[in-house]
Structure 1
Amino acid sequence: MKKHGILNRELAGRFAKLGHTDKIVVADCGLPIPDGVPCIDLSYKLGEPSFRTILNVVLDDLVVERAVLADEIKTNNAELWSNLTETLPNISYVSHEEFKRMTEQAKFIIRTGETTPYANVILQCGVIF
């Protein structure tokens, strides 16, 4: 049994298959999941697990070179936005509608129990060298 890192066997297996420029999404519980995009649903009640908790674990395990946020987070979830600007590399912004379209290109979506608005991020994988 693994001792460190992601213990969820589905997540650990999917992380191992990611390559440079692949994209994944960490999402709140309200983000629509596009048909055909696998969803790893970690939610077990409203608010749990939180977006920040899962994002921090993901960032500990993956090399991330870029991030995409919905522009609406700036005014509708300023506290989270402020935290993300200190945590994520190379952030770009798109409308929430464009963000939802972009999720169709993700390898998979990790659904959290988060209930605050626009708590969603697209992460683009980098390389370790």
Structure 2
Amino acid sequence: MKKHGHLNRDIARVLANMGHTDSIVIADCGLPIPEGVECIDVSLTLGVPGFFDVLDSVLADFKAERAVFASEAQTHNAAVVARARALAAAEVAVEEVPHETFKRRCREAKAVIRTGECSPYANVILHSGVIF
């Protein structure tokens, strides 16, 4: 049995297949999943698991070079804005785009991890960095 990292085999598989600049989305339970993009649904109930729980778990096992958030979080979700600032302080390039642009960019992701999060604009597109 696996001892460290992701126990969810689909998340582990997608992360293992990521190359430089590839992207993965961590989404709240309301974000539409683009046709043709794999959805790894880890939601159990409203709020479980939360966006930050899944984000922290992914970031513990993934080198992010860039993170994209919806600019609407600035006025609708202070916690997401605070996390974006923390990522920027950790030398991850942070970009904000309008939510409609965000949704279009999700079409390019390798997968969307759907959480149970039910707060507005709790979504991020993470672009893979390199570990060397």
Counterpart in the other structure of 1:70: 70
User: Which 4+ residue blocks in structure 1 deviate beyond 2 angstroms?
Assistant: none
In structure 2, the residue corresponding to 1:75 is in which secondary structure? helix
- Does 2:104 align with 1:101? yes
Counterpart in the other structure of 2:5: 5
Distance 1:22 1:52 in 2: 21
Q: What is the number of residues matched between the two proteins?
A: 129
Distance 1:9 1:57 in 2: 13
Amino acid in the other structure paired with 2:98: S
In structure 2, the residue corresponding to 1:61 is in which secondary structure? coil
Amino acid in the other structure paired with 1:93: E
Counterpart in the other structure of 2:127: 124
Counterpart in the other structure of 1:54: 54
**Structure 1 residue 83, shift from structure 2 partner:** 2.5
Counterpart in the other structure of 1:38: 38
Counterpart in the other structure of 1:14: 14
- More off after superposition, 118-127 vs 87-96: 87-96
Counterpart in the other structure of 1:83: 83
Distance 1:50 1:91 in 2: 21
In structure 1, the residue corresponding to 2:60 is in which secondary structure? helix
Aligned-CA RMSD value: 0.8
Distance 2:80 2:23 in 1: 21
- More off after superposition, 88-97 vs 76-85: 76-85
Extract unaligned runs of 5+ from structure 2: none
- TM-score normalised per structure 2: 0.95
Amino acid in the other structure paired with 1:3: K
**Structure 1 residue 78, shift from structure 2 partner:** 1.2
**Structure 1 residue 113, shift from structure 2 partner:** 0.2
Amino acid in the other structure paired with 1:95: P
Distance 2:83 2:13 in 1: 28
Extract unaligned runs of 5+ from structure 1: none
Amino acid in the other structure paired with 2:118: T
- TM-score normalised per structure 1: 0.97
Amino acid in the other structure paired with 2:42: L
